[in-house]
Amino acid sequence: MTDMRQLYQEVILDHNRKPRNWGAIPDANRHAEGHNPLCGDHIKLSMNVLDDKIDAIAFEGHGCAICKASASMMTGAVKGKTVQDAEIMVEEFRGMATGTFEPDSADNHLGKLKIFAGVKDLPSRVKCAILPWHTLHAALNSEASTSTEGEADPVSDHA
């Protein structure tokens, strides 16, 4: 990928500048923190899950544009979804970012999130895009924290 505009599209830059669902949910019943020690990306996610649905979700923290935009778009995409559907999206996003799942080849729930497909060509940046999704997975499974630097893959380990 020589043209960085393919990855750094206006949508991503806009979510980086004005992240949606920014902040913390008071009295949230699900929390997790995600940390990428390599680059210092740090995401705090809070959610309210009611009747097996993500009723409210918010995030805060600091990170690169890829990480922040991924988190911002993720919160929009999973709000109102069932826990099960959100977990399917975690799998699909992770597959797309690591190059094991081609989103144009099969039905999926990724929609606008396909904009992140380009990170699979940038191995050092895959973790930036995936961190919010790891954190979502951890929060849904009532784990307090996750990291992209573990020995094993935190998602498939617990899926």
Residues that bind another protein (CB under 8 A): 1-5, 7-8, 13, 16-17, 38-40, 42, 62-66, 122, 124-125, 128
The neighbouring-strand residues paired with 104 are: none
Q: What minimum distance in Å lies between the beta carbon of 3 and another protein?
A: 7
Q: What minimum distance in Å lies between the beta carbon of 125 and another protein?
A: 6
Q: Tokens for 129?
A: 């895009």
Q: Tokens for 85?
A: 């559907």
User: Quick one: 1 or 11, whose CB is closer to another protein?
Assistant: 1
Strands 30-36 and 41-50: antiparallel
Q: What minimum distance in Å lies between the beta carbon of 2 and another protein?
A: 4
How far is the CA of 47 from the CAs of 7, 60, 97, 103, 152, in angstroms?
28, 12, 24, 27, 26
Q: What minimum distance in Å lies between the beta carbon of 87 and another protein?
A: 28
User: Quick one: 66 or 86, whose CB is closer to another protein?
Assistant: 66
Q: What minimum distance in Å lies between the beta carbon of 84 and another protein?
A: 33
**Residue 100 CA to its chain's centroid (Å):** 17
User: What distance in Å separates the CA atoms of residue 128 and residue 9, rounded to the nearest whole number?
Assistant: 16
Q: Tokens for 106?
A: 């099969």
**Residue 109 CA to its chain's centroid (Å):** 14
Contact 138, 154 (CB under 8 A): yes
User: Quick one: 28 or 65, whose CB is closer to another protein?
Assistant: 65
User: Quick one: 56 or 66, whose CB is closer to another protein?
Assistant: 66
User: Quick one: 61 or 103, whose CB is closer to another protein?
Assistant: 61
